Homo-oligomer: A and B are copies of this chain.
Amino acid sequence: MNKHAIEHRPKSSYCYAYDEETIHIRLRAAKNDVKSVTLIYGDKYQWEDCKEIEMEASYFDHLFQYFAVAIKPVNNRLAYYFKIEGIDEILFYTEGGLVKNIDNKYLIFLQFQYPYLNKADIHITPDWVRDTVFYSIFPERFYNGNSLINPDPLTPWGQKPTYMDFYGGDLEGIIKKIEHLQTLGVNAIYLTPIFHSPTNHKYDTIDYFKVDPHFGDLDTLKRLVTECHQRNIKVVLDAVFNHSGYLFLPFQDVIEKGSKSKYYDWFHIKKWPIEHEPPSYDTFAFVASMPKLNTQNPEVREYLLKVGRYWIEEADIDGWRLDVSDEIDHEFWRHFRSTVRTVKPDIFIIGEVWHDPSPWLKGDQFDAVMNYTFLRNCIGYFANEELSDLQFKEYTNEMLMKNTQQGNEVSFNLLDSHDTPRFLTRCRGDIKKLLLAATFQLTFIGAPSIYYGTEIGMEGGADPDCRRTMEWNTNNWNIEIFNYYKNLLAVRRKYKALRRGNFKWENYEGILAYSRAIPGEKVIVMINNHNSIKTINFSNEDFRGFKDIYTEKPEVIDKLELKPYSSRIFIKLEKHN
């Protein structure tokens, strides 16, 4: 047995409470090295009644096979260890390591433990997110709905953006184009920052309590949210708490008064009078216009928590996306979660974390992060074709196994954002590749997010080019892409299996395939990410009852051809009790 590969740790993605009565247990072993894993489990105070259950060989990645099981402990207490049957030997994996036999005199030291399933420790993620497709909007570039509040000067709509120019998009514009969201079929919008700020991106806040005057006012925002809610569309705003803008009054006060300012400790001032090149204060990256806030100062914390509460109470928003969230202390986010959930218990909290998000997804901080690992895998597989079907599957599985199931269920899965090149541009304009990636994104576990314009074939490189103005002349739309998205979203809405079904890879040679299933409803997705026709041979048994999800025509076939860079989605409905 490859002993070095065996891994398990309680109170991690290997062992966590899924709901009020269920604990999920996972064990990692080397791939193709272990025949079976049995969990021996019980109540530590009544171990004589311990039970055994065989774990399921679930996901695998490049090196490892994961085994999984769900346990409902009778008295909320769970003690356990593993019996691992390898090719050549049987070993027990315990908190004391791998042993040949369980020496009962050391039993208490050998048991792993999830000592008590307390409700307060469960990571409860908002249920509605499981049924949600997000649409991400950079408001300055979406639609100019109110020319009375245009910035001056105004660059003509449609020009190639620079870092500094303004086009006049505003909140009224989103209200006016709400029908587009409905036609497309999304049911949530995420807006990059909308509070008072001198820039087009508004990541350098002047006033956290004021809608930017070029975007509208409190009333416009309230109307936007109301119009959205009337259409069952949720609204998520962007909280920029890592840093303020240079013009934020407390920072201006510090510039003026130095250590005599009551806001001196709101920032990290290294030298006064303030210098800018380089900044004599901590900043976001090395950007002088974005002084880092001291979120460890209780006054700053209270101020920002008030911001968090205010927009829920005033405008009834449904979620917060947290800018540069990984550079703020965890303690702040714990206060944030408990504060905003007190106001709205099913508020959705999405952190911006580009790397391993697990330190933030334990239940005390965020519900999800912008899933850039998902993006990385899609770039490697769909856009660049540097990953094989198997490798993509392995990377995807590794991503799933790094997090809990409830985390994966609400993961904010994106192909592009205001911080990345557009996916179609990464695909060098190859529409087929974008559509394959979108197929995966919209049929995978999690909450997909579509970056405005991607659904009509907009292109754009890195910032600022990915922030082009939205194309509203439908003659310039790629209707193939738009219809594809529209239809895909429609079937996702129609079939619960596509939103909440259990995800499982399916084995069909030469392609990527997986299923999503709930009782009575099973969807199979087949993706041919290759430049050649792939032929799938079924026994009739195999595929009986499956219909094309769009045409709803039965496929009575024993073989199926998938064209290069194409996909098919099938569904089978059955009565169940």
Contact = CB atoms under 8 A, between A and B. Distances in A.
Contact of A286 (B46, B109, B372): B46
Interface string A356-379: 101100001000000011001001
Q: How many monomers of this protein are in the complex?
A: 2
Interface in A108-122: 108-109, 111-113, 115-116, 118-121
Contacts of A331: 120-121, 364
Contacts of A120: 295-296, 329-332
A79 to B, nearest CB: 9
Contact of A4 (B64, B95, B121, B376): B64
A359 B14 CA distance: 13
Interface string A370-393: 001100100110000000000000
A62 interface: yes
A75 B286 CA distance: 10
Interface in A491-507: none
Interface string A7-43: 1011100000000000000000010000000000000
A393 B329 CA distance: 36
Interface in A240-259: none
Given A45-B286, A97-B62, A286-B46, A121 B356 contact: no
Interface string A300-326: 000000000000000000000000001
Interface residues on A, range: 35 or more
Interface of A: 2-5, 7, 9-11, 30, 45-46, 62-64, 75-77, 95-97, 106, 108-109, 111-113, 115-116, 118-121, 282, 285-286, 295-296, 326-332, 334, 353-356, 358-359, 364, 372-373, 376, 379-380, 398
Given A45-B286, A113-B356, A116-B328, 16 more contacts: A7-B7, A10-B359, A11-B359, A76-B282, A95-B355, A97-B398, A108-B372, A109-B354, A109-B355, A112-B355, A112-B356, A116-B326, A118-B329, A120-B329, A120-B332, A330-B364
Which 3 pairs from chain A and chain B are nearest by CB?
A: A4-B5, A118-B329, A116-B327
